[in-house]
Structure 1
């Protein structure tokens, strides 16, 4: 066999890519516009074969560096850390995943699990999480439209609730954190920040808290809360666009946010819409966005968290209407009391400085005072104590089983790391259940 003397390898032509694709050696308008470029995205395994040679060719033929930054993607592996291959059968078909979950779900789920500088351990559950998140975004926008289809105008600062100010401050934090993450190419951090802001802070807390306004009779305040929601959603959808391009384009137009925008500023496509910027001092002053509202809301939501924990201690289902009583350590305004009542799904939230709790009443110390969940009429203390005692014995048996396995050197050496981690996680979960049952028994004992 003899090597062909006049055929060049693939890498020889590839190193001309930054300029040969745009008409070089002619000085075309396209070449002048796009050379040099800013970023190159590639894998670390071809630094020598491609990246270094493009740089050398750029200096040789164009007289300048072809790109300023090189972003190295991680290798996508299976959840056991193995390379994808047909032989192992661990390489899913992206088209099948897109058909099942959607392109945005695949994109979002993969980026969320792709930390900077590390390989991606692909798990289809991440794509499923991406789909669930897309559904959450869609439903949050649907909730907004159910309150009235028209986009609201300017926010009236005099009608802002403490919850309104809290979510605006949280939005400002999210804009800053996500922008900084994108500027440093830390895409997984940006995705996680978006996830935390939108799911945990906006949906779980603010939207639920805003129902105190929507269920009320103050129409001006309702309109103002809708203006806040429109402000937050129009910014959030733009923050999501690099990660969820298809659903955000649909929502941008469907929510009416493109209607009053110039064509080159988001009127035709969200791709041209201005990227959200952190609030300047004028905007913060106009809406009285002092950081004290972050702490105020955090304390209020901690009351809710403690109340939900009391439900678990008393074995009261979250959907069952019950009464809560608080002995306040500070003034609690009617709006904030109504928010707490709604978030706790309570039939009543009583503020009573002289409340004397009966023996066995589940109690929690909160930033706003001592919180009680009276159990009269909801459980039989004797039967509940018997049930919890039985659960306690079962949990202790399970903990002993897992501890014995983990203490066995032969088990730890023979099983795969994933199995060992599963047992360690199982032990943590059983210990958490044990703490919960003990707390419930202590509450019943008074």
Structure 2
């Protein structure tokens, strides 16, 4: 038996859905595409447009996306290799970041292996693409990046190079040229060594790994909430802010990461948030950024009143659905439970908004 599995690709069509043919003149010159976007860029563009089981709707803009991703990888490599390194103790925020990203690598590798086993190649590429672009470049490197003009500790630097090497191995089946080039330069190699023969060994994610990944997802939302306040109130990134946690801080273990990423001078647990604070929710946890004289009270009242009106309308719709006996009796249990959670979350957010409005009106 010469082979046991056969992978059929669909027909290559243009972005209008027409079959590519010489008579239509809609077939791109592959050599021209490679000269314009690079071989890895074209490979990536083809795979992004080739979901399993469907025809390939080729669009040259996907090759451009592939070229941009190549540039992202190069720039991340230049950034990391350009850091000055010094011996010393690893900062807490860097240790947390490394623990999280190692767990994220395990999760994504397990996902990619599963997708490969099902021949869902374009989906496997997207999983690694998001891991590199979103998690590694946008979050991990920002978490560990040293202050301007300062060196990075050697422990974090070596961990980052190791993560980068693992990412190159994961990307290699899709982008063989740039990954081979960078793999040769990230560490000293012996004559004849190649990434093609390098092993990729990652354990399956543990319950602890999954817990860390879930916690950091909430941390991202907290950081995002503070950054949104900055943007809405036009507060410069260089100005340190105070973050208030109403009631109980369930993310105290990640305070160093939150403070670094959001540029906070303090994280304080309070019974009631400041009257001038701009508040936001992460799940059922409430956070607030005191703004003092930086806030336009009347504008903030108008904004929160609009949010309150929207939430009250949403809650009324959820209650109407839950009051329908046929829906509760016949809908799947998970669906009913989700609606009840929507009701509970909305009621908590409404109560928090009413409290905030009362404080602002009494200011």
In the superposition, relative to structure 1, how do residues 347 and 67 fare at CA in structure 2: closer, same or farther (>3 Å)?
Answer: closer
Q: When the two structures are aligned, how many residues end up with a matched partner?
A: 305
**Retained in 1: the 8 A contact 2:100–2:212?**
yes
Deviation, structure 1 residue 134: 1.0
Structure 1 residues 203 and 251: CA distance shift in structure 2, 3 A: same
Give 1:293-312 correspondences, 5 Å limit: 293-312=212-231
Counterpart residue number, 1:182: 116
Query: Which residue does 1:39 correspond to in 2?
Result: none
Give 3-state SS (helix, strand or coil) of 2:13's partner.
strand
Conserved? CA contact 2:52–2:122, under 8 Å: yes
* Alpha carbons 1:174, 1:197 under 8 Å: kept: yes
Aligned residue in 2 for 1:201: 135
Task: Tell me by how many angstroms 1:92 deviates.
Answer: 2.2
2:201 aligned residue (269, 277, 287): 277
Equivalent residue for 1:340? 258
Q: Tell me the equivalent position of 2:6.
A: 70
C-alpha distance in 2, partners of 1:317/1:75?
A: 52
Could you tell me whether the CA contact under 8 Å between 2:93 and 2:257 is conserved in 1?
no
Tell me the distance in 2 between the aligned counterparts of 1:280 and 1:173: 7
Q: Structure 2: how far apart are the matches of 1:301 and 1:323?
A: 17
Q: Which residue of 2 aligns with 1:237?
A: 168
Q: CA contact under 8 A between 1:106 and 1:127: conserved in structure 2?
A: yes
- Separation in 2 of the partners of 1:290 and 1:231? 18
Given that 1:299 and 1:368 are in contact with CA atoms closer than 8 Å, whether structure 2 keeps it comes out as: no
**How many angstroms does 1:234 deviate by?**
1.1
- Tell me the equivalent position of 2:282: 366
Change (3 A) 1:364 1:379: closer
1:201-242 Cα shifts (integer Å, max 9, x gaps): 11221111113xx349x98x8222122212211111011111
Displacement of 1:244? 0.9
Q: Does 1:224 align with 2:142?
A: no
* Counterpart in the other structure of 1:32: none
For 1:192, the equivalent position in structure 2 comes to: 126
Please point out which of 351, 358, 364 is paired with 2:268: 351
Inter-CA distance 315–77: structure 2 relative to 1 (3 Å threshold)? farther
Indicate the SS of the match to 1:104. helix
Alpha carbons 2:41, 2:66 under 8 Å: kept: yes
SS in 2 for 1:114: coil
Mark the CA change 1:322 to 1:368 in structure 2 (over 3 Å): closer, same or farther.
farther
Separation (CA, whole Å) in 2 of partners of 1:90 and 1:321: 54
Cα separation, 1, equivalents of 2:259 and 2:33: 42
Q: Please give the alpha-carbon distance, in whole angstroms, between the structure 2 residues aligned to 1:322 and 1:159.
A: 17
* TM-score for the superposition, normalised by structure 2: 0.71
Computing the radius of gyration from Cα coordinates, the structure with the larger value is: 1
Higher relative contact order (CA 8 A, sep 6+): 2
In structure 2, C-alpha distance between the alignment counterparts of 1:273 and 1:307, rounded to whole Å: 42
What SS class does the counterpart of residue 70 from structure 1 fall into?
A: coil
Q: 2:85, 2:154 within 8 Å by CA — same for their partners in 1?
A: no
Kindly indicate whether the alpha-carbon contact (under 8 Å) linking 2:93 and 2:143 is maintained by their aligned counterparts in 1.
no
SS of equivalent residue, structure 2 residue 201? coil
Q: Distance in 2 between matches of 1:143 and 1:362?
A: 35
Q: TM-score, normalised by structure 1?
A: 0.59
Q: 1:316 aligns with which of 234, 237, 250?
A: 234
Shift of 1:110: 1.8
Q: Deviations over 1:384-441 (max 9, x none)?
A: 999x9xxxxxxxxxxxxxxxxxxxxxxxxxxxxxxxxxxxxxxxxxxxxxxxxxx9xx
Q: 8 Å contact 1:337–1:349 — kept in the other structure?
A: no
RMSD in angstroms over aligned alpha carbons? 3.7
Q: Return 5+ residue gaps in structure 2 as ranges.
A: 304-352
